């Protein structure tokens, strides 16, 4: 059975109960989870699985796309068995930071696309910083100024307190939306129904990740540094504070 990914419907769930479906050494699959796995540059959530007052740390989670399961990696071999009930508690501080950073990256990417037709060629979102690689044809001060302006504008947009909308759409309908394909790799290819994340008037993406409900939750976005890694790789680091 595919894992029921509760975070797709509600990114704010901090704990849930779940049934153990499979155990292999320190790798555990549950019937449902609030833990978002490592996917497309976004680091995995962390948390604990609680069983009989024992807490086991979830140090990583892998997206098993083949079977549509989330594999939770624990710091040690569990004592529980298949079919037993456990509780999952997420490391909320980490998750919330990732949600804020991730939503900020949507606004920045949308602005880079609108102003410079720049597409993302790679990226990483961690608890400390986020970075996106852009195929933007600028360098030196021009590049620096471009992204200083984009971050300034992104902060203004965030402060407008725009509600982030999440809904499902048929693949054939979604493909008609301009700009929706720029992060397509983040969507499970087999899926006929796509999860759409829309910041109205700013950005629309097919996206399976957790985001904040309102852009005002992002806080202040700060440009950290820019590295010129070649023609298609202007690496922009930022963080939220």
Q: How far is the CB of 51 from Zn ion (least distance, A)?
A: 32
**Shortest distance, position 103 Cβ to Zn ion, whole Å:** 7
Residue 49 vs 104, nearer CB to Zn ion: 104
- Shortest distance, CB of residue 34 to Zn ion, whole angstroms? 17
Q: Which stretch binds Zn ion (CB under 5 A): 49-57, 163-171, 207-215, 227-235?
A: 207-215
Q: Which is nearer to Zn ion, 60 or 203 (CB)?
A: 203
Q: Is 207 in the site for Zn ion (CB under 5 A)?
A: yes
Q: Nearer Cβ to Zn ion, position 84 or 124?
A: 124
Q: Please report whether residue 41 would count as binding Zn ion according to CB under 5 A.
A: no
Nearest residue (CB) to Zn ion, 63 versus 207: 207
Query: Is 78 near Zn ion (CB under 5 A)?
Result: no
Residue 37 or 209 having the CB closest to Zn ion:
209
Residue number, nearest CB to Zn ion: 207
DSSP codes joined into one string, the chain: ---EEGGGT-TT--EEEEEEEEEETTEEEESEESPPPBBTTBPPP-EEEEETTEEEEEEEEEEETTTTEEEEEESS--S--TT-EEEEEE-HHHHHHHHHHHHHHHHHHHHHHHHH---EEEEEE-SS-EEEEE--S--HHHHHHHHHHHHHHHHHHHHT-PBPEEEEEEHHHHTTSTTGGGGGGGS-TT-SEEEEEEETTTEEEE--S---SBGGGG--EEEEEEEE-STT-EEEEEEE-
Complex with Zn ion: residue 86 or 199, whichever CB lies closer: 199
37, 41, 208, 209: residue in contact with Zn ion (rule CB under 5 A): 209
CB of 188 to Zn ion, least distance (A): 14
Quick check: 195 and 180 in contact, CB under 8 A?
no
């Amino acid at each position: 059975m595919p894992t029921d990914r509760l975070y797709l419907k509600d990114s704010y769930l901090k704990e849930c109960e779940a049934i153990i479906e499979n155990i292999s050494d320190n790798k555990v699959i549950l019937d449902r989870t609030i833990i978002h796995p490592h996917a497309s540059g976004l680091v995995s959530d962390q948390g604990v699985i609680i069983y009989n007052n024992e807490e086991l740390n979830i140090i990583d989670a892998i997206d098993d796309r083949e079977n549509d399961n989330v594999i939770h990696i624990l710091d040690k071999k569990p004592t529980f068995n298949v079919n037993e009930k456990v509780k999952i508690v997420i490391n909320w501080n980490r998750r919330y930071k990732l949600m804020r950073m991730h939503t900020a990256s949507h606004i920045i990417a949308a602005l880079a696309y609108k102003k410079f037709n720049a597409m993302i060629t790679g990226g990483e979102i961690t608890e400390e910083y986020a970075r996106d690689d852009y195929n933007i044809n600028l360098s030196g001060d021009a590049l620096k100024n471009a992204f200083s302006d984009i971050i300034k504008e992104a902060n203004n947009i965030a402060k407008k307190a725009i509600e982030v909308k999440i809904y499902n759409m048929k693949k054939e309908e979604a493909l008609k939306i301009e700009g929706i394909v720029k992060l397509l790799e983040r969507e499970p290819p087999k899926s006929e129904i796509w999860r759409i994340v829309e910041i109205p008037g700013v950005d629309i993406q097919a996206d399976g990740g957790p985001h904040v409900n309102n852009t005002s939750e992002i806080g202040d976005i700060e440009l950290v540094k820019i590295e010129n890694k070649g023609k298609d790789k202007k690496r922009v680091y930022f963080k939220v504070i």
